[in-house]
Amino acid sequence: MQVVFCDRDGVINEFPGNGNYVTRVKDFHFVPGSLEALRLLTEQGYTIFVVSNQAGVGKGIYSQDKLNRITRYMLKHVEKEKGKIKKVFYCTHRSDHGCDCRKPKIGSIIKGLQIVNKKFHHARKTFFVGDTVSDIMAGHRAGCKTIFVLSGRETRQSIRKWPIKPDYIAKDLLAASKIIENENSNHSCLSRRRSHQSR
C-alpha cells in the first residue's frame, strides 16, 4: 500500500498568510497544479490523506460547520478532477491543548496508517508533503520520507534554522508528485533487479 500524507494550507490550497485561516469557501483557492498532482498520485495507486492543523476552530475564529463546508468543497473539486483523498484529519485544538493530533505530533498519521492497515515501522515507504517545519518534523517522527514545498508559509532559507531537514524540496505539490513517482519507479526497478538476481 502506497501512502501520501499532505498538509492542506500552502500545499493543496493557497496559504492565507501568517496568523490567518481560510474561514470561508470563497477564500479557498487551489494552488496551481495541486489538483493535477492529486490526480496523478491517485492514478499511480497512492492512498492520499490530508493532515492539517486548524486551530482557528478551537480559538473560535470560525466554526466546525464552516470547516466542514470548506472540506466538502475541496473534496468535490478533487474528485471532479479524478483525484481521491481517502480521509481528512484536522486538529482543531489550540496549541496549548496538549493533544496528540497537532503536528508535529503524529496521532493523525498513525490513524491514517491504521486505516490502510500499514504498520508504523513500515512508514518509511510513505511520504509526507508539507510547507512548514511542523509538517517535516511530523513526517520525520513517523518515519515518512518528507518533501518540503515552497508554495506555502516557509521558504528555502527557513530550513537553515530547522532541527531536521526534509528529504526533498519541491516547488509545489505537482513537483512533489513527480518526485514521488520517480521514487516509486526507482524502487520498482530495484525490486525487479533483486528478484532477477535471486533466480
> Which of the residues 7, 131, 135, 172 is marked catalytic?
7
9 is catalytic: yes
The three-point CA angle 7-147-85 to 5° equals 40
> Which of the residues 9, 131, 135, 172 is marked catalytic?
9
Give the neighbor-by-neighbor strand order of the sheet with 87-91. 87-91, 46-53, 2-6, 127-130, 145-149, 168-170
Q: Kindly list the distances between the CA atom of residue 110 and the CA atoms of 22, 73, 98, 140, in Å, as whole numbers in the listed order.
A: 26, 26, 17, 13
Which helix (H) or strand (E) segment holds residue 46: the answer is: strand 46-53
Distance CA 4, CA 35 (A): 14
100 is catalytic: no
Q: Kindly list the distances between the CA atom of residue 189 and the CA atoms of 43, 130, 193, in Å, as whole numbers in the listed order.
A: 19, 27, 6
Closest CA to 69 of 101, 26, 14, 38: 26
**Catalytic residue set:** 7, 9
